[in-house]
Structure 1
Amino acid sequence: FGAINRLDNQDPKVKEKIQFIKNYTPTTEFPGDGLLKLAKLAVIVEDWVLEKELDGFAFQCWPSIQDNFGIVPCAVMSMFSEGLVPAACEVDISGLIGMYILQLASDTPSAILDWNNNYGDDPDKMVLFHCSNLPKSFFKDTRMTIHPIISDQKGEDVTFGAIQGRIKSRPCTLLRVETDDIFGEIKALLVEGDYTDDELNTYGGFGVIHISKLQELLKTLCYDGFAHHVAASLSQVGEIVHEALFKYLGWNIKFFNH
């Protein structure tokens, strides 16, 4: 925030980012100086990424940034992920590693999602969702809005910058990487599924996904200690990821529905 405060509003980099954000996705009305704040954050993060030669990053996206700066960083993180610099929310470094692996395997942007809700009574379908910082290419269409969840707690004036829309109906590969601190090893869970066109009216970055033997998968997540986040790619690259992580890196990886 110190670097942002030292950045002049008329800096050419800031003006360039303002235009980039406007071109990135349609937006609802910008509240106050929300667009300027997003642009400044994007400039500082980009400088940091270049200076440190980062392949990706994760940082705390709530609640401090709303209290101290007055935006949600979702749109900025979405833009970096779309540009093949994966950005994970909630300081999820394990999730970032999963995103980066899927990006390398598919040569396309990756996202981080929540294992969220069941879809009606269908045992093999669920809502795979985030609130959201998904890359633009994941969506059928997008819009930038007030954050639909954090605004209830913090107010609309400090929560602009979320990306919302329906995820495309495509094959999908999911990967969760964890460290097993008891056995001192890296473990991973790899899953393939398909986003569908099933009816769903909600907020965030959302879609319905079909995964065979989903109920067994949910038990595996709980029993084997995997977090509620999962990295996702709109591509079918499970075989590539499994070969790389198991054969060459020797990780303890479970290819669930292979």
Structure 2
Amino acid sequence: MKNVPEVKLGIIAVSRDCFPMELSANRRKAVVEAYKKSNGNIYECLTTVENEKHMEKALEEVKEAGVNALVVYIGNFGPETSETLIAKQFNGPVMFAAAAEEKGNNLINGRGDAFCGMLNASYNLALRNVKAYIPEYPVGTADEVANMITEFVPVATALLGLKKLKIISFGPRPQDFLACNAPIKQLYNLDVEIEENSELDLYAAFNEHANDSRIPEVIASMEEELAEGNKMPGILPKLAQYEITLLDWMEAHKGSRDYVVFANKCWPSFQTQFGFVPCYVNSRLTARGIPVSCEVDIYGALSEYIGTCVSQDAVTLLDINNTVPDDMYESEIKGKFNYTLKDTFMAFHCGNTAACKLTTRTMKNQMIMARALEPNQEPNITRGTLEGDIVPGDITFFRLQSNADAELTAYVAEGEILPVATRSFGSIGIFAIPEMARFYRHVLIEKRYPHHGAVAFGHHGKAIYNLFKYLEVKELGFNQPKGMLYKTENPFE
């Protein structure tokens, strides 16, 4: 994934001046050893912080080492002022964790009281209006703190990515698609930049790439990826031209930002003017870590990018689309999987899911658009979708959204795609999320979410939920288990 940041971890231990500094330093060494053993590299700052001068020296050391995500480790009670100033002055995500006591026969000179120090650290962070990532239970042994750091990495990756992200959009939301319209003020609150352009800008740039010398190379790449699914080879030159157009625009318009995603209009005039649908190109860029959301869904693109950072994998954006028919449930799901009919649904989009996430991949035309634009004739301008059933396995369904009042809200739910043939069209799968019916009613409908949801492949709910908590979303919904009522849920069956 070239369009996401690389986390370079560092750790600084802190020590209260009335406790032995060696206690905190030795515990830090143990954490570093535990993390390196099973997870990867972390820069160990050898300056243990007791005061503000130490704090400045330690920050200079991690800065010189290229650290962009930091762990403040409370090895003993900790110095309240200087430890929170570390987080205030460090330019990047910061996690706080504390040491558990080690031996029952060493609770005099070997007792650190970091359990107490963690409370004071959190209080002082609040006094200074400093954000920090604090694990669910932030006190532990060296191995446990190493695991906490592992869980911090995907959150830190997303935070670093958002800080350097630009969303580039083309065109207004299509008519009757106000579901994808949301106030952009919250983007700036997240440090995300946005560049909004006209479809004419995109069309002019596309025409300037006619006969581009790179087109044959991109066609060859498409042919290799599609293989036997290359059923409409005549459309590939236009799709290749469009892919190059977007990538060149990305490089030319990054500005001060390092990472870019797109939110592009894709109907109804796109087909009549460009002569194809852009779905396959969207899928190819998304597979490279450059999500391209459909229908100018700005917050959909933002959500996809978060999923990319967290999962380090391709994601997709799908409509929460249609129910599973009773007969299909009875014959292919009931008794084979532990879900009710109302736990299941089909999620679909025209053809924007990466080839690596489809069980089969076939180039087709967009059937829904063809009904209006090319009825009863050989498809031409509606060609360009990548179709197939989405690979079965664990998924996380989520979205970060600005509501009509410009308040940041979010939801996250874990589930799976079932290994059941959809018998339908587009990029599509049969999804199962526990207690989906209640989640659909009391989160998706009641909280006014649009029909688009981002899909990360794998169970990443913990990291995404922690990220949304860090971003201080006003409401954070999830699929609550049976017996845990939503606020507005009728308790009487």
Which residue of 425, 431, 456 maps to 1:209? Answer: 431
Question: Which residue is 2:205 aligned to?
Answer: 3
State the alpha-carbon separation in 2 of the partners of residues 126 and 138 from structure 1.
Answer: 18
Partner of 1:127: 346
Distance 1:16 1:177, change over 3 A: same
Alignment deviations for residues 194-252 of structure 1 (CA, whole Å, 9 cap, x no partner): 11023420100111111111111111211110000000011110000111110x21113
The counterpart of 1:29, out of the listed 232, 238, 241, is 232
Q: Is the 8 A contact 1:192 1:257 kept in 2?
A: no
Letter in 1 for 2:264: F
SS at 1:208 equivalent: strand
CA distance in 2, matches of 1:8, 1:254: 47
| Greater mean alpha carbon deviation, residues 49-58 or residues 74-83 | 49-58
- Which position in structure 2 is the counterpart of 1:222? 445
| Distance in structure 2 (CA, Å) of the matches to 1:238 and 1:86 | 19
TM-score normalised over the length of structure 2:
0.50
Indicate which of 141, 145, 154 corresponds to 2:360: 141
Matched, 1:71 2:276: yes
Contact 1:166/1:205 (<8 A) preserved = yes
Bigger shift: residues 131-140 or 224-233: 131-140
Separation in structure 1 between the aligned mates of residue 345 and residue 404 of structure 2, nearest angstrom:
30
Query: 1:83-132: CA deviations, max 9, x gaps?
Result: 11011000000111111111111000110001111112412111111112
Q: Using the alignment, how far apart are the partners of 1:46 and 1:35 within structure 2? A: 16
Would the aligned equivalents of 2:389 and 2:421 in 1 still touch at CA under 8 Å?
no
CA contact (8 A) 2:436 2:479 kept: no
Matched to 2:252, the amino acid is E
Once the two structures are superposed, the pairs formed by residues 158-173 of structure 1 within 5 Å of their partners are: 158-173=381-396
Structure 2 unmatched ranges of 5 or more: 1-202, 327-340, 482-493
Q: Structure 1 counterpart of 2:224, which letter?
A: N
Q: Distance in 2 between matches of 1:8 and 1:218?
A: 46
Three-state SS of the structure 1 residue aligned to 2:233 is: coil
Q: Which moved more, 1:82-91 or 1:137-146?
A: 137-146
Give the letter aligned to residue 173 of structure 1: T
Supply the AA of the counterpart residue of 2:237: L
Shift of 1:24: 2.2
Q: How many residues end up aligned between the 2 structures? A: 253
Question: Tell me, what secondary structure is at the counterpart of 1:133?
Answer: coil
Tell me which amino acid in the other structure corresponds to 1:83: R
What is the aligned partner in structure 2 of residue 250 from structure 1? 472
Q: CA deviation at 1:148?
A: 1.8
The structural deviation recorded for 1:7 is 2.6
The Cα shift of 1:13 comes to 1.3
SS in 1 for 2:367: coil
Q: CA deviation at 1:154?
A: 1.4
The C-alpha deviation readout for 1:10-63, integer Å capped at 9, x for no partner, is x321121111221222311334xx221111111110101122234211100111
Q: Name the structure 2 match of 1:113.
A: 318
Task: Give 1:179 shift.
Answer: 0.9
CA contact (8 A) 1:65 1:71 kept: yes
Q: 1:240 & 1:4 partners in 2: Cα distance?
A: 38
Q: Which runs of no fewer than 5 residues in structure 1 stay unpaired? A: none
User: SS of the residue aligned with 2:346?
Assistant: strand
Q: Separation in 2 of the partners of 1:250 and 1:206?
A: 32
User: How far is the alpha carbon of 1:180 from its aligned partner?
Assistant: 2.3
Tell me, in whole angstroms, the C-alpha distance in 1 between the residues paired with 2:451 and 2:393: 22
- Hey, what does 1:38 align to over in structure 2? 239
2: CA distance, partners of 1:257 / 1:87 = 30
The higher radius of gyration belongs to 2
Q: What CA distance in whole angstroms lies between the structure 2 residues aligned with 1:146 and 1:255?
A: 35
C-alpha separation in 2, matches of 1:97 and 1:3: 24
User: Counterparts of 2:206 and 2:466 in 1: how far apart (Å)?
Assistant: 43
Aligned partner of residue 207 in structure 1, secondary structure: strand
How many percent of aligned residue pairs carry the same amino acid?
27
Post-superposition offset of 1:2: 1.9
Range that drifts further, 147-156 or 67-76: 147-156
Q: Which residue of 1 is the match for residue 410 of structure 2?
A: 188
CA distance in 1, matches of 2:302, 2:210: 34
State the one-letter code of the partner of 1:119: V
Is the CA contact 1:131–1:147 (under 8 Å) kept in the aligned structure 2?
yes
Query: For residue 81 of structure 1, what is the aligned residue in structure 2?
Result: 286
Q: Considering only aligned residues, what root-mean-square deviation do their CA atoms show, in Å?
A: 1.5
Partner Cα separation in structure 2 for residue 199 and residue 65 of structure 1: 31
Given the alignment, which residue of 211, 217, 233 partners 1:16? 217
Partner of 2:373: 154
